[in-house]
Amino acid sequence: MSTRDPRSAPPPPSIFDDSADVSSGTFQGDDSDSPSSKSQRKADVMVSGVQNEAGEMAGKTEDKAKDMTEKAKGKADEVTGKAQDKTKEMAGKVEEVGGKTQDKADQGMDSAASGLGQAADKVREQGERREGAVGTAAAKTADTLDSASQFLQNKDTGQLMDDVEAFVRQKPVESLLIAAGIGFVLSKIVR
């Protein structure tokens, strides 16, 4: 049996060596029938098979992830749709309640306009029974109450609130005096 001196053996081929034929898996000077080359080929086939299986598994995993993503997106869209439906439903209910409140406010304004018209008639009656400055003041007050009644009949609540707000901002002192005067006159009439 002959022993080879390891120092005299040629170095193993490397992938950077020009003598290596990487595409065929063999190297120059390689004995393709040797047991080590057969083992290498088996290992290469096994690695290739494992790589193929890993690729297939990765593809399946990717497909499952896409399916799960699509299902999650579908559920999110469904929940979003339901939330939008509920929001629209609630907005409709709020609008309905707002409409009812507006109707009641308009009815209250109509009642107030009617009350002012009746007050104007009573003040006018009382003024006609009296002569002089009291009769003249009563007539002017009756005319003012009458025009206020007409004003309320021709406006809805939204318009009236806008007008009153603008007037109070422009003339706050006058607004207070008018409110006090109307309160005083109405208290005298109701007695």
What distance in Å separates the CA atoms of residue 88 and residue 69, rounded to the nearest whole number?
28
Task: Please give the chain's pLDDT, 191 residues, in tens.
Answer: 455 555 555 555 544 444 444 444 444 444 556 777 778 887 887 878 778 887 788 788 888 888 888 888 888 888 888 888 888 888 888 888 877 887 888 888 888 888 888 888 888 888 888 878 888 888 888 888 888 888 888 888 788 788 888 988 999 899 899 889 888 888 888 77
Tokens of 55: 């690729």
Choose among 123, 103, 95: nearest CA to 187: 123
pTM above 0.75, yes or no: no
